[in-house]
Amino acid sequence: MKSCMKNRIVSVLMLTTLAVASCAAVATTPSELNDLEIAHTAYVADNIDIQYAHLALALSTNPDIHEFARTMIRDHEAVNEQALALLEKLGAEAQDNFLSQKLIADSKSIIDNLTQLRGAEFDKAYADNELGYHKAVNELVADAFIPNIENPEVKALFEQGLKIFKQHEEHAAMMVKKLNE
């Protein structure tokens, strides 16, 4: 947003339309995403985790894995409900972007791999993936999203979300440790 502004000023000074065109260019790094793209990415990230959880409920027989998966569905659905309500209140619509597309593409290959596994092998792979996934998304939310979100209500929701997802990360770490004992 800021670099976009700078470009526009430069373009006016140079009296060329070239820089204006670059201004409309899409974000290519997470910190360049606007609020609506960030909201959409988080919504997609939530839904991916819900999908993993449904897979775990279908393929695992481990009660700890089931309980964890049910918590993921319960919490991520609640976060998404809040996010949708907020977008509606703001009269905004979430925007598709490079990062949400990448997350979806990555999740497809992860789901393909997980569906091949059964028993303890599945449980371990699911738990490892949950730990890694929450870690990665939490870093993204803390370092790239929250510092760049402009709308205070959207920012507040992400701050609350981060507290929830950090708890999930710790829970996943506990699960991984227990499965390796």
Q: Which one of residues 74, 102, 108, 177 is an interface residue with other proteins (CB under 8 A)? A: 74
Taking Cα atoms as reference points, which of 97, 111, 162 lies closest to residue 134?
162
CB environment 129-166: b (16+ within 10 A), e (fewer)? bbbebbeebbebbeebbbebbebeebbebbeebbeebe
Taking the complex as a whole, the smallest distance from the CB of residue 75 to other proteins amounts, in Å, to 5
- Give the footprint of other proteins on residues 149-168 (CB under 8 A): 160, 163-164, 166-167
Specify the stretch interacting with other proteins by CB under 8 A; choose among 65-73, 87-95, 103-111, 120-128.
Answer: 65-73
C-beta of residue 58 within 8 angstroms of C-beta of residue 111: no
Distance, CA of 58 to CA of 73 (rounded, Å)? 13
Instruction: In whole angstroms, give the CA distance from residue 119 to residue 129.
Output: 16
Nearer to other proteins, 67 or 106 (CB): 67
Q: Of 33, 50, 79, 94, which lies in the binding site for other proteins, with binding defined by CB under 8 A?
A: 79
| Interacting residue with other proteins among 82, 101, 113, 115 (CB under 8 A) | 82
Q: Which of 35, 49, 75, 130 binds other proteins (CB under 8 A)?
A: 75
